[in-house]
């Protein structure tokens, strides 16, 4: 079977494509276009952040956030109080690409600290855990992350919008 993928970028010589992608702006719609740009700016403003990146699913956003920071051989520490799809992505799919997850049973800040080693590149939480509806102590866990020079990544399902759960503000206030 022959599978052929055609796209605009395929007809540009690879060295030209490399040059084009250095330019900032609306040069390639998967990376950025005016519609997603407006959407991202509004989300960033609503959440109190400096920038946003829109993806087509929660799993995609998690993948992009984590694989931009971690590579094979690295690990991150996550609460076990997670949406089932996320738990599987971390435990099964990330393992296949050499990224290890260490689960804390719950969201005790001391437990996150205890599991950090020299290959730990991030701490991961849900702002409201699914299905437990737990709300972690963001300030304490952000301090653990900051003291160890690693980012705290939070995933926030936007069904409930209150100041209590405004993800970026809570994480970086």
CA distance readout (Å), 34 to 9, 39, 92: 19, 9, 36
Smallest gap from residue 145 Cβ to ligand PLP (A):
20
Neighbouring-strand partners of residue 103: 78
Residue whose C-alpha is closest to residue 99's, from 127, 66, 128, 72: 72
- Residue with Cβ nearer ligand PLP (80 or 86): 86
Annotate 75-102 with three-state secondary structure.
EEEEECCCCHHHHHHHHHHHHHCCCEEE
- Residue with Cβ nearer ligand PLP (4 or 57): 57
- Residue with Cβ nearer ligand PLP (107 or 126): 126
Smallest gap from residue 153 Cβ to ligand PLP (A):
13
Q: Which residues are at the interface with ligand PLP (CB under 6 A)?
A: 57-59, 83, 85-86, 126, 130, 155, 157
Rounded-to-integer distance, Cα 128 and Cα 96, Å:
28
Smallest gap from residue 24 Cβ to ligand PLP (A):
28
Smallest gap from residue 87 Cβ to ligand PLP (A):
10
Neighbouring-strand partners of residue 111: none
- Residue with Cβ nearer ligand PLP (10 or 93): 93
């Amino acid at each position: 079977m022959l599978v052929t993928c055609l796209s605009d970028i395929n007809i540009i010589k690879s060295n030209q494509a490399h040059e084009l992608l250095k330019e900032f702006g609306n040069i390639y719609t998967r990376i950025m276009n005016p519609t997603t740009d407006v959407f991202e700016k509004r989300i960033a403003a609503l959440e109190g952040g400096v920038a946003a990146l829109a993806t087509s699913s929660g799993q995609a956003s998690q993948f992009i956030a984590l694989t931009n920071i971690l590579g094979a051989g690295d690990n991150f520490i996550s609460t076990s109080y997670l949406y089932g799809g996320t738990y599987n992505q971390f435990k099964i799919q990330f393992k296949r690409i050499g990224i290890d997850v260490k689960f804390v049973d719950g969201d005790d800040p001391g437990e996150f600290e205890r599991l950090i080693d020299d290959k730990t590149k991030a701490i991961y939480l849900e702002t409201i855990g699914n299905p437990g509806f737990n709300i972690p102590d963001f300030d304490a866990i952000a301090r653990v992350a900051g003291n160890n020079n690693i980012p705290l990544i939070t995933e926030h399902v936007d069904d409930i919008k209150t100041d209590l759960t405004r993800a970026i503000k809570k994480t970086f206030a």
